[in-house]
Amino acid sequence: MSGSFSFNGIRKDYIFIRMGFNRPAFAPIERDIMKVTGLAGGHLVRTNTEVRTLEVPVILKADDQADLQKRKEDLAEWLIHDDPKELIFDDETDRTYMAVIDDEADLDELVFRGRGKITFVCSMPYKLGNEQVKELAIENDSLRAKFKNKGTVESLPTIDITVGAKSPFLDVWNGDDYFRLGYPVGIKNKTVDTEERLMWEQFDNLNGWASHTGKLGIFETTGTIATKSGYAYPTNMGSGSDWHGCFATKDIPTSPTGAIADFKFDAQMTLKASHWNQLGKTIVMALDANDEVICQVDMSDSYIGSEYTISHASIGSAEFKPVPPAYTLAEEHGGAYGIFNQFHGHFAIRRQGNMWRVYCAKYTPGTEIDGASYVKTWYDTDSSNPLTKREPKKIAIGFVSYGTYPAINDLRISDLKFWKLHKLNVDETPYIFDIGDKIQIDTEHSLVSINGSNAVALKDMFSRFPKVKRGDNDIIVRPSNVGIAKLTYRERYL
């Protein structure tokens, strides 16, 4: 026997590869040749790399035939997946195949040992090397990284940028190839903030926040809020017969450009129940000078019989039967029942003129990139709702539970931003990101995001997602003062 392999990060101590197994030196290649009458040979049109197939002969150790059947069941659980998983062979531990199993594991059943083959299919035919990380640094007034890609084909990188200076554009260059967001400002153009950020709360502390007492919207306020490791959470939600809990408010800083007419805020929220009978809400509100609710967004589980998380947004503080001027803007579950369960994501609301818009997204697990999401827009066409024109003066955060039902034990708000919005005039170019924003360019999936939200609409249509070329690379990010940039890729081999 000649060793074994791991699949999806798991090894089995009862399966071994039989002697004589030899993988192809490279993925199958097909040449498209165009033949022309009267021309010797033909023209090479393109080269196609085909799907890679690996037929692995195996021996399956077992005590007897009954044990062999159990082993086969365990194999099925281990090997059968909908998406490609990492396949690593013992004799080539620095190379990874992304594979799925094809057909059945054809095992000849023997009393003490099974023999057969397992066929893996690699739709992405290249072998992958170890992950490479390059930190970009200033060199000759350019933010760049010079390195050599040792792979035999180009690689598809991910570039992460933590913004240190706002800008109307972002470029990534590698030789003559470029990727662009936004557009560089012309000499006669003025760069302006269409979004003037007045608040950015990261909840390292509660400085400037004041506990609220009495009624706030539809909620009775009681209990206390604390912070820990960069998020706010409830330490005590008190008691009550209806929705009740802890709230804190903070004044919105005065804008140097005057009163706030148009605005938006965006809050990073978590609502995760540990049992189906728990109820609760995570809430953010904009308030006027008299603590009347102008608008509210919340992640909520108010269903007694099962875990069912809903995203809710309203003008005023509303629930199922709003009383004017309260008005429900959104009440969504993510597209299908339970999609927003175990929610960790962000929730934004915008008021611009007589338009109200809501955006909510649950992050893809393990990331802060938007997954399941929705947008809802409503126009107060005759501006009949007085809250459409009300100036926001405070922001409120809150965590509530219902009656004596068990409270959800993981309620958090971990990031909160508030902006005053401005109109864009002729010959003005807007900034497209601000200090502290996080930009990710994901070439493999043709995605670009700012703070987790899809920003592909900002991409220059003639630019291409950046690639790491075979051999020497000189990756340059502009403007050079944009912030901290990191490039991650895996070398790819035929």
Q: What is the pLDDT along the chain (494 residues), one digit of tens a residue?
A: 568 999 999 999 988 998 878 888 888 888 888 988 888 888 888 888 899 999 998 888 877 777 877 887 888 889 999 999 999 999 999 999 999 998 665 655 544 567 788 899 999 999 999 999 999 999 989 999 999 999 999 999 999 999 999 999 999 999 999 999 999 887 778 888 899 999 999 999 999 999 999 999 999 999 999 999 999 999 999 999 999 999 999 999 999 999 999 999 999 999 999 999 999 999 999 999 999 999 999 999 999 889 999 999 999 998 767 888 999 999 999 989 999 999 999 999 999 999 999 999 999 999 999 999 999 999 999 889 999 999 999 999 999 999 999 999 999 999 999 999 999 887 789 999 999 999 999 999 999 999 999 999 999 999 999 999 999 999 999 999 999 999 999 999 99
* C-alpha distances in Å from residue 438, one per residue of 166, 205, 325, 482: 12, 22, 37, 11
- Per the CB < 8 A criterion, the answer to whether 283 and 367 are in contact is no
Residues 174-219 have pLDDT tens digits of 999 999 999 988 777 888 889 999 999 999 999 999 999 999 999 9
Owner of token pair 């023997």: 110
CB atoms within 10 A of CB 162: 14
Cα–Cα distance between 302 and 331 in angstroms, integer?
12
Looking at the DSSP bridge assignments, the partners of residue 369 are: none
Cβ atoms 72, 80 nearer than 8 A: no
CA atoms of 269 and 287, how far apart (whole Å): 19
Q: Which tokens sit at 218?
A: 């539809």
Q: If residue 65 lies in a helix (H) or strand (E), which one and from where to where?
A: helix 65-79
Domains of the chain: 5-125 (2.40.30.200), 129-193+427-493 (2.60.120.860), 195-421 (2.60.120.200)
Q: Which stretch of DSSP H or E encloses residue 281? A: strand 280-287
Which conformational region is residue 457 in: left (phi greater than 0), alpha (psi within -120 to 50 degrees), or beta? alpha
Residue with tokens 């903030």: 193
Q: Around 72, how many Cα atoms within 13 Å sit in the side-chain half-sphere?
A: 18
If you search the block for the tokens 């066409």, which residue do you land on?
381
Contact 103, 54 (CB under 8 A): no
Containing H/E element for 378? strand 370-379
Give CA angle at 407 (404, 411), nearest 5°: 155
Q: From the CB of residue 415, how many other CB atoms can be counted at a distance below 10 Å?
A: 20
pTM of the entire predicted model: 0.88
